[in-house]
DNA sequence: AGCCGCTTGTGAACGCAGGAACAAAGTCGC
DNA sequence: GCGACTTTGTTCCTGCGTTCACAAGCGGCT
C-alpha cells in the first residue's frame, strides 16, 4: 500500500493552513472563484513561496498560470484539518473568558461544537450561553462520555487548572487547550496546548522595546 | 563602547523567559530560596539544557553546584523583560473577551496597566471594569496621547479590527495584540502579534487526530 | 586541606523552518 | 498553431532553534 502523501505536516504549517482557510472563506463569500498564491499570501501575511510550500503538503491543487480555485482549495484544507466533521468540545470555567469562548461563533464554523459548559460555582450553573446551559462540575464525566468529546478547554483560575486537567484526562479527553496561567502536566496520550495571554503581551512588549532600543542606537 | 551582552534575544527564548518568571514568582511565594535548572525546567515544561541556554542570554546568574537564587533570578528576568516598569496599555472592544482581559489581574503583576478601555457601542460606555470606566471610541486618541500608551489590545469583531488598528497606529501605539480573527496590516514601526483562538484549537485538534491516526496505524 | 559529587555554562551536531531561485505547465493573444 | 507570459511546484541553501554532551566551578564531607 502506497502512502498517497507524506502524512506528517509540520506544526507551523498547520497553523498557517488554518489561517488560509479563514481567508479563503472570506474570499468565497466575496464571490471570488480563483486566487493566486501572491494574493492569498498577502492576505494571510506570509511569504508567497512559503504558502505554496505549505499547500504542496496536501498535494497539487493549483493550476499553473491561473492560481487556485477558491472553493476547491478551501474544501481540501478543511478535509485535511478535519474541519469538515464536527468535533465535540467541553469548556470548563465560565468566567468572562469562558463566556467569551462559549459565545464565540467562530468555533462553530470551524467544525467545533461545545457539548458542555461547566463551572464549580453554583451561581454560574443554570445560566444559558450560546444555546447551552451551564452544568455543575459534577456532571463533567457523564457529559464527556455521553457525547464522546475529545477536546477540552480550560478557562478556570490557575489554582484549580491542574485538577481540572486531571479530571478531563481521566474522563477521556485527548486534547486540552489551556488558558490558565500555569504549566499543566498530563498523562501520555493527552496533549496540552497553552495559550498564555500574559506571555503574549510580554513578548510583544519586549520586541517593541528591543526595536526602539535598536533604533535609538542607530541614531546615536 | 562595549556591549555588555549580546542584546538580541531570540523570540522563542523571550516567551519562555516569561514563563520562567511566572514559575519563579510561585516558588518565591512558596518560600523557596534556590532552585536547580532541572527542577525549574520541569515546572516550566521545557528541557533543562534549553533552560540554561535561555538563562545564559542574560549573563551568568547561577551558582555551580547549587542552582539559581530564586528572587535574584526573578528580578533579573523581570529587568530584562522590562516588567519592572509599568507600561500603559489601551484595550479596544469591551465584549466578553475584552471584559475578561480588562479584569485579568495577571497583567498588572507583570508590569502592564490599562489606562483606557474603549468601545463603539454607547450601551457599553460608562460601565466600570477593574477600576476603569469604559470610554467611547472618540476619546481614543486623546487618552493614548495623555498617558503615552505604546501598547494596544484589539478585542473587537473582525469587521472593524483593521480600522481600529489604523487608528491605534496613527495615535502613536507601537505594539498591538490582536484577538480579532483577521490578518491586520500595520505601517512599519508598528508590530502586530495575532492571537487567534480558532487557529489554536484547530492546530490542537489536528495534532490529536494525527496522533491517533499514527497510533491506529502502528496497531494495524 | 583535599577530594567528591553536584550543577552550571558552553561548544558542537542535528533537524527544521524560511526564503530565494528555477524548471514545468498551462493560458492568452496573435 | 505558435509564442510569450503568468503562475505553480520544487529544489537548494542559509540561518535558527533545540538537543546532547562535556569541561569548569562551587559546596560539603572527611
Q: What is the pLDDT of residues A52-68, one digit of tens each?
A: 999 999 888 889 989 99
Q: Do A21 and A71 have their domain in common?
A: yes
Q: Do B131 and B37 have their domain in common?
A: no
Q: What is the mean pLDDT of the segment spanning B18-24?
A: 96
**Å between A50 CA and C7 C1'?**
42
Taking contacts as CB-CB distances below 8 angstroms, the residues of chain A near B99 are 96, 100
Number of domains in chain A: 2
Instruction: Please tell me which of the candidates A7, A198, A203 has its beta carbon nearest to residue B106.
Output: A198
**Could you report the per-residue pLDDT of A75-119, keeping only the tens digit for each?**
999 999 988 889 999 999 999 999 999 999 889 889 999 999 999
For residue A18, being part of any structural domain is answered with yes
For residue B179, being part of any structural domain is answered with yes
Q: Which residue of B has its CA nearest to A183?
A: B44
Q: Do B75 and B100 have their domain in common?
A: no
Count of CB atoms situated within 10 Å of the CB of B57 = 16
Confidence check: pLDDT of A5 > 50: no
Q: What is the CATH number of the domain that holds B187?
A: 3.40.50.720
Of A33, A65, A81, at which residue does a domain stop? A81
Question: Could you tell me the pTM of the whole model?
Answer: 0.93
- Asked if the Cβ–Cβ distance from B151 to A183 is below 8 Å, we say no
Residues of B numbered 15-74 whose beta carbons fall under 8 angstroms of chain A's beta carbons: which are they?
A: 15, 18-19, 21-23, 43-45
For residue B18, being part of any structural domain is answered with yes
**Structural domain for B41, as ranges:** 6-81
Q: Which residue of B has its CA nearest to A149?
A: B205
Confidence check: pLDDT of B57 > 80: yes
- Asked if the Cβ–Cβ distance from B210 to A95 is below 8 Å, we say no
> Measured from the CB, is B215 under 7 Å from any atom of strand C?
no
For residue A203, being part of any structural domain is answered with no
**Could you report the per-residue pLDDT of A144-195, keeping only the tens digit for each?**
999 999 999 999 999 999 999 999 999 999 999 999 999 999 999 999 999 9
For residue A209, being part of any structural domain is answered with no
For residue B210, being part of any structural domain is answered with no
Smallest Cα distance from A150 to chain B, Å: 9
Measuring from the CA of residue A39 to each C1' atom, give the nucleotide at the shortest distance.
Answer: D7
Q: Do B77 and B92 have their domain in common?
A: no
Amino acid at each position: 500500500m502506497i502512502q498517497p502523501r507524506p502524512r506528517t505536516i509540520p506544526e507551523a504549517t498547520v497553523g498557517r493552513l488554518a489561517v488560509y482557510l479563514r481567508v479563503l472563506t472570506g474570499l468565497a463569500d466575496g464571490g471570488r472563484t480563483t486566487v493566486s498564491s501572491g494574493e492569498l499570501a498577502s492576505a494571510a501575511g506570509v511569504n508567497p513561496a512559503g504558502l505554496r510550500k505549505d499547500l504542496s503538503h496536501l498535494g497539487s491543487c493549483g493550476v499553473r498560470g491561473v492560481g487556485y480555485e477558491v472553493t476547491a482549495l478551501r474544501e481540501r484544507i478543511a478535509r485535511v484539518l478535519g474541519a469538515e466533521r464536527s468535533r465535540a468540545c467541553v469548556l470548563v470555567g465560565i468566567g468572562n473568558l469562558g463566556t467569551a469562548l462559549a459565545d464565540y461563533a467562530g468555533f462553530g464554523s470551524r467544525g467545533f461544537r461545545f457539548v458542555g459548559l461547566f463551572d464549580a460555582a453554583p451561581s454560574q450553573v443554570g445560566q444559558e450561553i450560546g444555546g447551552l446551559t451551564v452544568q455543575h462540575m459534577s456532571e463533567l464525566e457523564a457529559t464527556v462520555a455521553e457525547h464522546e468529546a475529545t477536546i477540552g478547554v480550560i478557562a478556570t483560575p490557575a489554582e484549580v487548572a491542574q485538577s481540572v486537567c486531571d479530571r478531563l484526562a481521566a474522563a477521556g479527553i485527548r486534547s486540552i487547550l489551556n488558558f490558565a496561567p500555569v504549566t499543566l502536566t498530563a498523562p501520555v496520550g493527552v496533549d496540552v496546548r497553552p495559550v498564555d495571554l500574559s506571555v503574549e503581551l510580554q513578548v510583544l512588549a519586549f520586541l517593541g522595546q528591543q526595536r526602539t532600543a535598536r533604533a535609538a542606537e542607530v541614531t546615536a
